[in-house]
Amino acid sequence: DGGITQSPKYLFRKEGQNVTLSCEQNLNHDAMYWYRQDPGQGLRLIYYSQIVNDFQKGDIAEGYSVSREKKESFPLTVTSAQKNPTAFYLCASRLTGDDGYTFGSGTRLTVV
Partner 1 sequence: GQNIDQPTEMTATEGAIVQINCTYQTSGFNGLFWYQQHAGEAPTFLSYNVLDGLEEKGRFSSFLSRSKGYSYLLLKELQMKDSASYLCAVGYNTDKLIFGTGTRLQVFP
- For partner 1, the closer CB: 41 or 84: 41
- Cα(78)–Cα(84) distance, rounded to whole angstroms? 10
Stretch that binds partner 1, among 15-23, 29-37, 65-73, 78-86 (CB under 8 A): 29-37
Residues 3-22 that bind partner 1 (CB under 8 A): none
- Other beta carbons within 10 Å of 38: 12
- Cα(16)–Cα(32) distance, rounded to whole angstroms? 27
From the list 50, 77, 80, 86, which residue makes contact with partner 1 (rule: CB under 8 A)?
50
- Cα(49)–Cα(43) distance, rounded to whole angstroms? 17
- For partner 1, the closer CB: 52 or 103: 103
Is 104 a residue that touches partner 1 (CB under 8 A)? yes
